[in-house]
Amino acid sequence: MKKLLRLSLFSTLLVALFGCKHLEKLDSSQSRLPERPNILWIVAEDLSPIIPPYGDHTVETPYLSRLAEEAVRYTNVFSTSGVCAPSRAAIATGMYQNRIGAQHMRTTSVIDEGPKGLVPYEAVPPPHMKMQSQYFREAGYYTTNNAKEDYQFRKPATAWDDSSPKAHWRNRDHGQPFFAVFNLGITHESQVWRQADNPSLVSKDLDVPVPPYLPSTDIALDDIRQVYSNIVSMDKQVGTILNQLEEDGLVEDTIIFFYSDHGGPLPRQKRLLYDSGIQVPLIIRFPNKWRAGEADDQLISFVDFKSTTLSLAGIRPPSYSDGRAFLGKFVETPPRNYIHAAADRFDNEYDTIRAVRDSRFKYLRNYNLDKAYYLPLPYREQMPIMQELLRLNEQGKLNPIQEQWFRQQKPLEELFDVENDPHELQNLAEDPAYSDKLNELRTELDSWLSGFEDLGFKPEEELIKKLWPEGIQPITKAPSMFLKNGEVQISSDTPGANIAFQVIPLGGALEDNWRVYTGPFKLRPANRLIAVAHRIGYLPSDQVEFVKD
């Protein structure tokens, strides 16, 4: 009994010691940050962790490599989908895309890219959901986005000070803290074929790694080399942004994020829930090179980005977020045990898949068992390596690993040991040795899906009617404005409506930039007050004018 008591006390001491050290680290992270740090996001497209900071030295990336030397490399970071628009919706809202109706690729342009008969529509998050940039604006930050949006809904006027190809922190008032996003499109899937006629930034004989599920023909190698050439180009763009930050003397006042919007651009990467489709690099440089050179292997999901970025700026994250803050003043413990991901419609093809992953194993549940793994997408088939795969498959010249993607049916469940099988080629779901892990991840997926209504399981026509009654987009109710105690108050009867306004002299013209209404304010005589209300997913209201006598 005494021995058990001693062991118990020792265990308690270890837990207390670990907890204290952990809290020390969290407290240290906050004390080492500026009170109101600038936040800079540099976002690549369609990029797996195939850059030197993550061990792939096929090409040199001097700017990213230097950034990583001064930063923390996060090694287990995952998008919530293998394609951009659903993933970007999750980042902007802090909510899983299949919870808010943003799970299908490009809901706002289905006429061009989706099945016939669908109308374009917007995701409709719950009332009071605000884009993370709006929280920064309300806290006095200057917010910019250059320039891709793709949120699955129209941004409200309250979202950004500037979202355009000219957006830059340099346009802010002197001394104002900023949250700036730069989106770099050169690594996008389309650039594999669109850059093919331009001079390559790599040798035509460059030795490139070829994933086992892709062929090694000359055509395939050329496309893979183009991927690396685009990475070299992207690194130069990163360098331009970092050099501007240095020129402005802002490096040590800024927290710098580098990440990509989902995994790689090649066949059997983009759109899929294998790690090749959802695992991304994430490099975060803190002021004064705090934790420089460290690798952090905690599990991180895109739904964590909103809470974490706000937390780093000392802004309390909203309670509705599906994510957790893994850094900053409002860091949440303990770390994640799992990340979750979803696949739904891609262009004109539906293939519902849900996934859960821990630090070593990935579990996939397929809902369309009669569908082939490979689904024809005209956009992807512009890529020569995709055309090569199709040609070799038709001729029966693919090896057994490469043939896997062309199987005509899927099992209900798949389980992969991603540590020993990083390309996820050996399904362990029916191996009795892994039954405990299978049950664990199956249960975790059920638990995740039971936490909200997964809108990916609704036929898309029904989904549109759920989001927009009878398929008609609701309109945000126009704002009401009135004077009380000498101050103007603005409100809208639509729950969750964001209100933007401008104050302009009589006879003055309306500007592009709108201010965010956060509370009553005084209005000088001979000024016009113009206001608009907009709940995300709804149409914005008409503009309303108020003039003080």
- Mean pLDDT along residues 182-188: 98
| Helix axes of 62-69 and 218-247: crossing angle, nearest 10 degrees | 60
Beta-carbon-side half-sphere exposure of residue 416 (alpha carbons within 13 Å)? 19
What is the structure's pLDDT at 9? 38
- Mean pLDDT along residues 298-305: 98
What is the structure's pLDDT at 26? 47
Kindly report the average pLDDT of the chain as a whole number. Answer: 93
- Mean pLDDT along residues 422-448: 98
What is the structure's pLDDT at 201? 98
Please give the structure tokens belonging to residue 166. Answer: 């000219």
What is the structure's pLDDT at 111? 66
User: Which of 85-94, 113-122, 123-132, 492-501 bottoms out in mean pLDDT, i.e. has the lowest?
Assistant: 113-122
Question: With pLDDT > 70 as the criterion, what percentage of the chain qualifies?
Answer: 93
**Is it the case that residue 18 has pLDDT exceeding 70?**
no
**Is it the case that residue 129 has pLDDT exceeding 90?**
yes
Q: Considering only CA atoms, which of 87, 108, 109 is closest in space to residue 98?
A: 87
Contact 315, 143 (CB under 8 A): no
What is the structure's pLDDT at 4? 33
Per-residue confidence band for 116, with pLDDT thresholds at 50, 70 and 90: confident
Per-residue confidence band for 333, with pLDDT thresholds at 50, 70 and 90: confident
**How many CB atoms within 10 Å of residue 217?**
17
- Mean pLDDT along residues 365-382: 96
What is the structure's pLDDT at 30? 54
Contact 42, 254 (CB under 8 A): no
**Is it the case that residue 253 has pLDDT exceeding 60?**
yes
Contact 174, 248 (CB under 8 A): no
What is the structure's pLDDT at 452? 97
User: Which of 29-33, 71-75, 223-227, 284-288 bottoms out in mean pLDDT, i.e. has the lowest?
Assistant: 29-33
Per-residue confidence band for 506, with pLDDT thresholds at 50, 70 and 90: confident
Number of alpha helices (DSSP H) and beta strands (DSSP E) in the chain = 14, 18
Exposed/middle/buried for residue 490 (C-beta within 10 Å: 0-12, 13-18, 19+): buried
- Mean pLDDT along residues 521-527: 91
DSSP letter assigned to residue 294: -
What is the structure's pLDDT at 137? 98
Q: Which of the two residues, 208 and 27, has the higher pLDDT score?
A: 208
Q: Which of the two residues, 500 and 13, has the higher pLDDT score?
A: 500
What is the structure's pLDDT at 115? 80
User: Which of 299-303, 324-328, 482-486 bottoms out in mean pLDDT, i.e. has the lowest?
Assistant: 482-486
- Mean pLDDT along residues 515-523: 96
What is the structure's pLDDT at 29? 53
Question: pLDDT tens digit string along 64-105?
Answer: 999 999 999 999 999 999 999 999 999 999 999 999 999 999
**Is it the case that residue 19 has pLDDT exceeding 70?**
no
Per-residue confidence band for 148, with pLDDT thresholds at 50, 70 and 90: very high
Instruction: Provide the whole-model pTM.
Output: 0.94
Task: Give the C-alpha distances (Å, rounded to integers) separating 382 from 197, 222, 223, 388.
Answer: 14, 14, 12, 11
Per-residue confidence band for 445, with pLDDT thresholds at 50, 70 and 90: very high
DSSP letter assigned to residue 371: S
- As annotated, the active-site residues are 84
Per-residue confidence band for 113, with pLDDT thresholds at 50, 70 and 90: low
Q: How far apart are CA 339 and CA 93, in angstroms?
A: 17
